[in-house]
Amino acid sequence: MTFLSGFFLVNFLPFALITLVGILLFFRGNYKQEKWYYPLLFIIVVLTVISLWRIPLLRDRRYAMPIIVPGIVISSFVLVILPGILNKFKVSHANATTRVLIIVLLIACVVKTMRVQENKDYLHDISEVIKSDCQKNNIKRNAILLVFGNPGGRFNLDNNVEEINVTNRHYNNHFADVEFQFANLETEYLKASHPLLYLLCVEPESGNFAAAWKNKFIDNPELVFEYINRKQIAYRLYRVISEYKSAWLTSDELEHLLANENNLLQNGDFKRKYRILPQDNISKILQERGIKLFENTEVYLPEGWVINPGHGWAANCSPVSIKIIEKNNTLNVQSKDMISIYSQGALDGSKTYLIAAYASSESAGCFMPSVYTYDENDKYIRTINLKGIELSNKGNRYLIPFTLGNREKGRLALLFSGDVNIRNVMVIPAEMVKK
């Protein structure tokens, strides 16, 4: 249904219908002697392949936009052959009829383009509710608006509010498929950095977004605005308040919280280092896999951190480079595939922690922390994979929470791919994280 909606609405209904007629006429007519036959056949095949390939993947009708160009070409083909078809059926003034049809289509396109958009007061009201609520809660930075579904327009938000359209899939053109959208949504990560989460959901009047959210994420979202139009489409704005202290602090207060004396990691600031020797056991494992780590350079790691050849480090993933930039105690890792190191220091279980790290990349690197868990006898239990982050050349402080289960101990692992710079890796204990 999403694809059909996109085909007829993105491609403009008259052209969409003419396109379908054109494909039918092309295969029913005898045009093989025409010089344009094979180019047009290629365009029809491309349109068909795009359509069949995209049908199971479409989440929004906007993704049907690639069909516009072949649709226009095929529609033009119909208008070219139309006089001949009309003459075949002895329609009077076939050429004039075709010209009138072209003029009607042009006028329809102009009217469609210039039509005045409906004034949607609820968009203004939602923006004002968020502004007022931020002022009431003294929010000066980092509030976030998550949009589920198609709100039908733009919001006028202050700079202290970031709007994110959650990767979505609609049904009936409007409503969000919340199960799909919740699947990859990491609310704990968002709450560690954002004091208020506003959730705008477009759903049927009888929708159950709030109940689905509570069931998935435990939080009980508070309804702060609701608008239901004459089609029984509900635009509901909810608010979730973060319980993480880190989200409410000013920049200076956050830096104080992230002071080195509070860090539970060994050598998280990378000020101390040690050399990895080619004859070490782990080095030999990597060499046996064809990984060239020691060519023409000495390799150093931060003291207290070791390579885990069992996590990443695929065979022949060379070239790999690991070095410490002493000027600012930055660990630089370069690898085309995922590689990992982990801290040997253990964390106690049944607690919430906050990972803080400053990371950047000059070439679309990826950074993903994980936690290895162990029982009381240091026997490995499981790996907790946390938020993966696509990095840019603009360095940012990233805050990522995680919780260890009862009777578990944990060790922090860092996974990298691409060209990554990372420094000041910290783990802050639960009592300093939660409000």
Q: pLDDT band for position 74 (50/70/90)?
A: confident
Using a 10 angstrom Cβ sphere, with 0-12 exposed, 13-18 middle and 19 or more buried, the burial of residue 33 is exposed
- Rounded Cα–Cα distance for residues 65 and 278 (Å): 54
Q: Where are the alpha helices (DSSP H) in 55-137?
A: 68-88, 94-114, 121-136
What digits encode the pLDDT tens for the residues 296-330? 678 999 999 999 999 999 988 878 899 999 889 99
Q: Are residue 234 and residue 256 in the same domain, yes or no?
A: no
Q: What pLDDT is attached to residue 142?
A: 86
* Mean pLDDT value across residues 195-205: 92
Give me the percent of the chain exceeding a pLDDT of 90: 38
Q: What pLDDT is attached to residue 5?
A: 57
* Whether pLDDT at 140 is above 60: yes
* Mean pLDDT value across residues 351-367: 90
Q: Are residue 311 and residue 361 in the same domain, yes or no?
A: yes
Peptide bond into 319 cis (omega under 30): yes
Angle at 373 between CA 339 and CA 384, to 5 degrees: 60
Residue appearing with tokens 């509030």: 143
Q: Are residue 172 and residue 276 in the same domain, yes or no?
A: no
* Mean pLDDT value across residues 385-412: 90
Write out the two tokens for 290. 């064809």
Cβ pair 354, 433 in contact under 8 A: yes
Q: pLDDT band for position 135 (50/70/90)?
A: very high
Q: What is the CATH number of the domain that holds 298?
A: 2.60.120.260
- Which of 114, 140, 166 represents a domain boundary (last residue)? 114
Structural domain containing residue 8: 2-114
Q: Where are the alpha helices (DSSP H) in 258-395?
A: 281-288
* Whether pLDDT at 401 is above 50: yes
Where is average pLDDT lowest: 58-62, 97-101, 146-150, 279-283? 58-62
Q: What pLDDT is attached to residue 115?
A: 64
Q: What pLDDT is attached to residue 71?
A: 79
Q: Are residue 85 and residue 206 in the same domain, yes or no?
A: no
Q: Are residue 83 and residue 127 in the same domain, yes or no?
A: no
Q: What pLDDT is attached to residue 119?
A: 63
What digits encode the pLDDT tens for the residues 332-355? 999 989 999 999 988 988 788 999
Q: pLDDT band for position 173 (50/70/90)?
A: low
CA 300, 305, 311, 314: dihedral to nearest 10 degrees? 0
Q: List residues bridging with 100 in a β-sheet.
A: none
Q: What pLDDT is attached to residue 170?
A: 53
What digits encode the pLDDT tens for the residues 35-51? 888 888 898 888 877 77
Q: What pLDDT is attached to residue 93?
A: 80
Q: What pLDDT is attached to residue 1?
A: 47
Q: Are residue 68 and residue 31 in the same domain, yes or no?
A: yes
Where is average pLDDT lowest: 161-170, 194-203, 420-429? 161-170
Backbone angles phi, psi at 290, to 5 degrees: 80, 20
Amino acid at 336: K
* Whether pLDDT at 187 is above 70: yes
Write out the two tokens for 88. 């075949």
Cβ pair 83, 98 in contact under 8 A: yes
Q: What pLDDT is attached to residue 419?
A: 93
* Kind of pairing between the strands at 409-428 and 170-171: unpaired
Write out the two tokens for 394. 């603009």
- Which of 215, 242, 269 represents a domain boundary (last residue)? 242
* Whether pLDDT at 268 is above 80: yes
Q: Are residue 151 and residue 203 in the same domain, yes or no?
A: yes
Q: What pLDDT is attached to residue 353?
A: 92
Count of the separate structural domains present in the chain: 3
Highest mean pLDDT among 150-154, 359-363, 381-385: 381-385
What digits encode the pLDDT tens for the residues 105-129? 778 777 766 665 566 889 999 999 9
State which H helix or E strand residue 211 sits in: helix 209-217
Q: Is 153 helix (H, G, I), strand (E, B) or coil?
A: coil
CB atoms within 10 A of CB 218: 8
Q: Are residue 34 and residue 66 in the same domain, yes or no?
A: yes
Q: Are residue 79 and residue 145 in the same domain, yes or no?
A: no
Residue appearing with tokens 């922090």: 412
Write out the two tokens for 353. 């922690």
Cβ pair 300, 275 in contact under 8 A: yes
Q: What pLDDT is attached to residue 407?
A: 84
User: What are the C-alpha distances in Å from 188 to residues 197, 205, 254, 356, 402?
Assistant: 11, 29, 18, 14, 8
Q: Is 69 helix (H, G, I), strand (E, B) or coil?
A: helix
Write out the two tokens for 303. 């003291």
What digits encode the pLDDT tens for the residues 216-258? 998 899 999 999 988 888 999 999 999 998 898 888 888 888 8
Q: What pLDDT is attached to residue 306?
A: 95
pTM as predicted: 0.70
Q: What pLDDT is attached to residue 11?
A: 67
Angle at 61 between CA 57 and CA 67, to 5 degrees: 85
Q: Are residue 97 and residue 144 in the same domain, yes or no?
A: no
Please choose, from the candidates 244, 218, 242, 273, the residue with its C-alpha nearest in 3D space to the C-alpha of residue 355.
244
Q: List residues bridging with 179 in a β-sheet.
A: none
CA 212, 390, 344, 355: dihedral to nearest 10 degrees? -50
Q: What pLDDT is attached to residue 80?
A: 84
Please choose, from the candidates 238, 223, 417, the residue with its C-alpha nearest in 3D space to the C-alpha of residue 320.
417
Q: What pLDDT is attached to residue 166?
A: 84
* Mean pLDDT value across residues 61-84: 77
The secondary structure of 226-281 as a DSSP string is: EEE-TT-EEEEEEEEE--BHHHHS-HHHHHHHT-GGG--STTTT--SEEEEPTTSH
b vs e for 114-131, b when ≥16 Cβ sit within 10 Å of the residue's Cβ?
eeeeeebebbeebbeebb
Q: What pLDDT is attached to residue 63?
A: 60
Q: What pLDDT is attached to residue 239?
A: 96
Q: Are residue 36 and residue 64 in the same domain, yes or no?
A: yes
* Whether pLDDT at 418 is above 60: yes
Q: What pLDDT is attached to residue 308?
A: 94
Q: Are residue 126 and residue 17 in the same domain, yes or no?
A: no
- Which of 174, 209, 242 represents a domain boundary (last residue)? 242
Cβ pair 434, 243 in contact under 8 A: yes
